[in-house]
Structure 1
Amino acid sequence: MKKQITLIATVLSLISTATFAQDIHASEVPSVVSNNFKKQFPKATDIEWELDGENFNVDFEIGWGTDHEIWYDAAGNILKHEEEISKGNLPNEVTSKINTEFKDLSIDGVKKITEGKQVTYEVELENYKEEWKVFFSTTGEILHKIND
């Protein structure tokens, strides 16, 4: 019983840390993180930083409203990058899967998610009766789906 309580407390602690990122000023971001970000995304605008546990999260835009969100570790390495893309930039295999498995739904939004060398796509699909958030591999495999 004591082990279960400890496990529950640990899980709750991790969840609260993960879900309560803290807004920080750009001056509070380590220079290695800030410099890597500026070098990789020199045209970024509307930049907002958060401390997410021990990692640094930055939301920004490039161009006209193309949203990005990146998580950096303290050494300035990108851990995860989410970027909005147009449905025309989805791999053909993903578009084909949507057209066969979700033919009654239309695409409402698309994100390309890169973690290391792995790329996935988060696609919001909807019609007047239902909404889905579906995660696809680059080969069109459905990895996960959530009924919103």
Structure 2
Amino acid sequence: MNYKSTILALFFLIGGMASSKAQDIPKKDVPDAVKTVFIKAYPKATDIDWKMKGSNYEAKFDLGKVDHKATYNALGKTISVEKDIPNSQLPAAIAKSIRIKYPKGRIDDVDWINTGGKITYKIDIEGTPDVNVWYSADGKFIKEVAD
């Protein structure tokens, strides 16, 4: 491969990686249907940032001092809602499972997630190594991803 082809390939690779992540967008580019549903659900939201995630619109915002995230399709249908919760609000069955599975780990952050009425928890665990784990509301382990 010659020099120009290498540079061109690198350019497309970097561009593809950048486009695969969520893209920040200005509020004016969010469809009115999405903004209307969001404002009705969260009239007291502050520090609102909008992103495109694939074809969906994601709002990251604060309610009081709590971080939230809500994802909508272009028609304003809610895909999921997520919020930080204190470690103390983690269901006991999940906390027990984590203590057993990760005895040297420390729970750093807990997110409560509602996707179409299905509740899950994402827990960031610091330890060796750091991991993110997901559990169902009834305490069943779903998956683990290295952090």
Once the two structures are TM-superposed, the CA of residue 102 in structure 1 deviates from its matched residue by 2.0
Q: CA contact under 8 A between 1:18 and 1:52: conserved in structure 2?
A: no
Q: Secondary structure at the match of 2:47?
A: strand
1:1-148 equivalent positions in 2, closer than 5 A = 19-64=20-65, 66-127=66-127, 129-148=128-147
Once the two structures are TM-superposed, the CA of residue 36 in structure 1 deviates from its matched residue by 0.8
Q: Secondary structure at the match of 1:34?
A: helix
Once the two structures are TM-superposed, the CA of residue 130 in structure 1 deviates from its matched residue by 2.7
Residue in structure 1 matched with residue 9 of structure 2 by the alignment: none
Aligned length: 133
Q: Secondary structure at the match of 1:120?
A: strand
Deviates more, 1:69-78 or 1:98-107: 98-107
The two structures have a TM-score, normalised by structure 2, of 0.80
Distance 1:17 1:131, change over 3 A: closer
Mapped partners of 2:80, 2:19: distance in 1:
14
Q: Deviations over 1:21-75 (max 9, x none)?
A: 33222122121110110110111111011223321111111112x2112210111
Code of the aligned partner of 1:132: V
Mapped partners of 2:125, 2:97: distance in 1:
12
Code of the aligned partner of 2:51: E
Residue in structure 1 matched with residue 8 of structure 2 by the alignment: none
Q: CA contact under 8 A between 1:17 and 1:53: conserved in structure 2?
A: no
Provide the alpha-carbon RMSD of the alignment.
2.1
- Unaligned ranges ≥5, structure 1: 1-11
Mapped partners of 2:141, 2:96: distance in 1:
12
Code of the aligned partner of 1:70: A
In percent, how many aligned pairs have the same letter? 32
Q: Secondary structure at the match of 2:99?
A: helix
